[in-house]
Amino acid sequence: MNYMYSISAEDLSTIYPEAIELAKQHGKKVGEDFGEEFNEVAKKYNIKLNCLGSTEMDAGLITGNLREEGLKVLNINEEMEKRKNE
């Protein structure tokens, strides 16, 4: 099951770098799920993540479907892959 959350860009910029570092410390590789670390850091900063729902679809499929509907969606995994390939 995959969960979708809404978070402000400001809160994301606070949480994301620390969550990535924590995931690395836990031995996770790029592309692996780091939801536990993300939630842990969000709690540390008292940042509330707004759960939008859950699905069996992966992030790529969800992102693609939403873009087909005309929405602008940021997929962090896609951005990381782009940077990795630069």
Confidence at residue 59, expressed as pLDDT on a 0 to 100 scale: 82
What are the φ and ψ backbone dihedral angles of 46, each rounded to 5 degrees?
A: 55, 40
- Could you read off the pLDDT of 63-74 as tens digits, one per residue? 899 999 999 888
Cα(15)–Cα(71) distance, integer angstroms: 24
On the CB side of 44, CA atoms within 13 Å amount to 12
Confidence at residue 4, expressed as pLDDT on a 0 to 100 scale: 81
Confidence at residue 39, expressed as pLDDT on a 0 to 100 scale: 92
- Could you read off the pLDDT of 20-61 as tens digits, one per residue? 999 999 999 877 888 899 999 999 999 998 888 899 998 889
Q: How do the domains of the chain map onto residue ranges?
A: 2-85
- Beta strands of 7-85 (E only): which ranges? 50-55
3 state DSSP class of 35: helix
Cα(30)–Cα(82) distance, integer angstroms: 12
pTM score, whole prediction: 0.65
Cα(57)–Cα(3) distance, integer angstroms: 10
